[in-house]
Amino acid sequence: MTIRSRRPGANAALLPVLLTGALALAACSSGGSSPAPQSGGAPAGAKTLVIDTSFDLKTADPGRTYEPTGLIIGKATYETLLTFEGSNVTKPVPALAESFELSKDGKTLTLKLRQGVTFADGSPVTADDVVFSLNRVRDMKGTPSFLLDGVQVEKTDDTTITLTSEKANPALPYILPNPALGILNSKVAKENGATADTGDKAEQYLNSTSAGSGPYTIESFNVSSQVVLKANAKYWGQQKPVYDKVVIRNVEAATQKLNVSRGDSQVALNLSGDQVSGIPGTLQVKKTPSANVIFLFANQDPSISKVTSNPKFAEAVRKGIDYAGLLELAGDGSVQAPGVIPSMLLGALPPDSGITRDLEGAKAALRESGVTNPTVKLEYPSELTVNGLSFQPLAERIQANLKEVGITVELAPAPVATALDNYRNGKEEMGLWYWGPDYPDPSDYLAFLPGKLVGLRAGWKAGSDRALEAAGDKAALTLGDEARRQAYVDIQNKLNASGPFVTLIQPSQNIVTAPSVTGLEFHPVWTVDVADLGVK
């Protein structure tokens, strides 16, 4: 997963969306037609939507946000050059840019800006605003700055922006829709401390009011309790916001279920499969595989473990897991992960290519390893849940599966901070973790190769598999959807055959809504597009 935002690794402070033990707030309006009491008093007849979620939120500043709740807010209040249509992340489409073109060498992305677009204060969105906003994200060195590493942003003329990379960068059109790359009103931002460098001081202002062109603006913002959005009266787009106000509340999952069941909220984002099974039939339940891939790894560093670094031991583990049994734990809507790339992204392996259990093959591989009656330690975060799914029952099931193979697994759960430290430093003999996309492009999963971020966490050093590493380098520069798809399919097949990772499941994303809520699509980057809700 990504901590930068959602994968355990880049920033200890940024924990997954379901980790937070949330504050359950008082009941809000029922039916979505009257204002929420906390919202500050909407006019009579105003239409309010109440969304309950478990907050993973630090800021509303698009140049600094990379947490799931922050991305929901950023998507509603700022607009990006490109976006995705509904839940389809395989094809970027124009947004503030009316067209875009990637050069034949993949190094230059040229975007023509849409005309007639205005910020919430009525001022026009200009090429200068775009250049300032993107340079600010890159040069402030905040959490999302890596998205534009090595990318130069230039204004070619008043309607044209050019993004130039040193190497072919076919992922860039898939990166630009991220709400962290939302375009700011640069004049307003500069007046309030924005400087596009590490001395930038605009965050406090941007936490109190938004400076974007999105369909909503920020009315109030509290990182621990709730965020209130109000419709942008000057929104330039043809599709105006359906709701006058949107109240996003920090509520623990059990209370989310209670609230949506009795009509005190209209959307619940974080219910587990078990919780959804008891939802009243009058409510709408959307179950879809999340973009999170839960995986197991065997450390390849002999100084950490001579057992797990044995290639035949990793093969025994891979063949010994009961994948169908793990899916039973995960619940409806979950799917087996046949590879590290989740099902909705370009380059994902076909669902029917997932590994099936081969208990006799696992026992044979263990015998061939020369390791007799091995005992290994499996580490994982004790209090972490992913889409409502706890790691503990998964670890217990893996322990039972491998016992049948002849492998004794000692479970070693630890608080997230402790577990993350061991994981990042490559000290876990075996680990159980997950990965969600930083951006919906297969290149983000090259991190699993030897010498790369996740590879190193599994003790898989550069030079361990030169053919696979070369394939990864080539894939990163490959252009064209079909060529890229095949390149990443080949890489995952090689990973599955000889790598230290065992991909397990994509747990279900369960979203419950009132019957009145239409237009909802789960999105692996921003979860839901608030502006689409209520649209027929």
State the Cα angle at 504 between 500 and 507, rounded to 5°: 145
Q: Are residues 260 and 350 in the same domain?
A: no
Tokens of 79: 């607009």
Max distance between CA atoms of the chain, in angstroms, equals 76
User: How far is residue 227's CA from residue 250's CA, in Å, rounded to a whole number?
Assistant: 9
- Paired with 513 in beta bridges are 267, 284
User: How far is residue 249's CA from residue 253's CA, in Å, rounded to a whole number?
Assistant: 12
CATH number of the domain where residue 278 is located:
3.40.190.10
* Number of domains comprising the chain: 3
Question: What is residue 536's predicted lDDT score, i.e. its pLDDT?
Answer: 66
Q: Which element (helix H / strand E) includes 369?
A: helix 359-369
Closest CA to 198 of 122, 135, 112, 118: 135
More confident residue, 10 or 258: 258
Domain assignment present for 11: no
User: How far is residue 211's CA from residue 197's CA, in Å, rounded to a whole number?
Assistant: 18
Q: Are residues 304 and 356 in the same domain?
A: yes
Q: Are residues 353 and 413 in the same domain?
A: yes
Domain assignment present for 189: yes
Its sign, for the CA torsion 368, 370, 376, 379, is negative
Question: What is residue 23's predicted lDDT score, i.e. its pLDDT?
Answer: 30
Mean pLDDT of 206-213: 96
Domain assignment present for 1: no
User: How far is residue 245's CA from residue 48's CA, in Å, rounded to a whole number?
Assistant: 5
Distance of CA 35 to the CA centre of its chain: 31
Confidence of residue 183 (pLDDT cuts 50, 70, 90): very high
Beta strands in 25-96 (DSSP E): 48-53, 82-84, 92-94
Residue that is written with structure tokens 């309006």 in the block: 29
Q: Are residues 463 and 314 in the same domain?
A: yes
> Containing domain of residue 355, as a range?
293-506
User: How far is residue 282's CA from residue 267's CA, in Å, rounded to a whole number?
Assistant: 13
Q: Are residues 346 and 247 in the same domain?
A: no
CATH number of the domain where residue 122 is located:
3.90.76.10
Q: Are residues 26 and 43 in the same domain?
A: yes
Q: Are residues 84 and 65 in the same domain?
A: no
Burial class (CB in 10 A: 0-12, 13-18, 19+), 238: exposed
Q: Are residues 475 and 411 in the same domain?
A: yes
Cβ atoms of 495 and 471 within 8 Å: the answer is no
Identify the domain boundary among 153, 170, 200.
200
Closest CA to 162 of 207, 212, 111: 111
User: How far is residue 55's CA from residue 424's CA, in Å, rounded to a whole number?
Assistant: 24
Residue 5: pLDDT over 50: no
Q: Are residues 297 and 270 in the same domain?
A: no
Q: Are residues 363 and 318 in the same domain?
A: yes
Identify the domain boundary among 176, 200, 224.
200
Distance of CA 201 to the CA centre of its chain: 27
Mean pLDDT of 412-439: 93
Residue 316: pLDDT over 90: yes
Domain assignment present for 5: no
Question: What is residue 175's predicted lDDT score, i.e. its pLDDT?
Answer: 97
Identify the domain boundary among 200, 226, 257.
200
Its sign, for the CA torsion 424, 429, 434, 440, is positive
Cβ atoms of 39 and 219 within 8 Å: the answer is yes
Domain assignment present for 393: yes
Distance of CA 521 to the CA centre of its chain: 15
Tokens of 288: 């879809």
Q: Give alpha helix (H) positions in 113-265.
A: 127-140, 172-175, 186-191, 203-206, 253-262
Q: Report the 3 state secondary structure along 462-481.
A: CCCCHHHHHHHHHHHHCCCH
Percent of the chain at pLDDT above 90? 82
User: How far is residue 94's CA from residue 120's CA, in Å, rounded to a whole number?
Assistant: 20
Q: Are residues 502 and 521 in the same domain?
A: no
CATH number of the domain where residue 429 is located:
3.10.105.10
Question: What is residue 46's predicted lDDT score, i.e. its pLDDT?
Answer: 59
Note the pLDDT tens digit of each residue in 357-410. 999 999 999 999 999 999 999 999 998 888 888 899 999 999 999 999 999 999
| Whole-prediction pTM | 0.86
Domain assignment present for 206: no
Note the pLDDT tens digit of each residue in 260-300. 999 999 999 988 888 888 888 899 999 999 999 999 999 99
User: What 3-state class would DSSP assign to 185?
Assistant: coil
Domain assignment present for 181: yes
Q: Are residues 490 and 518 in the same domain?
A: no
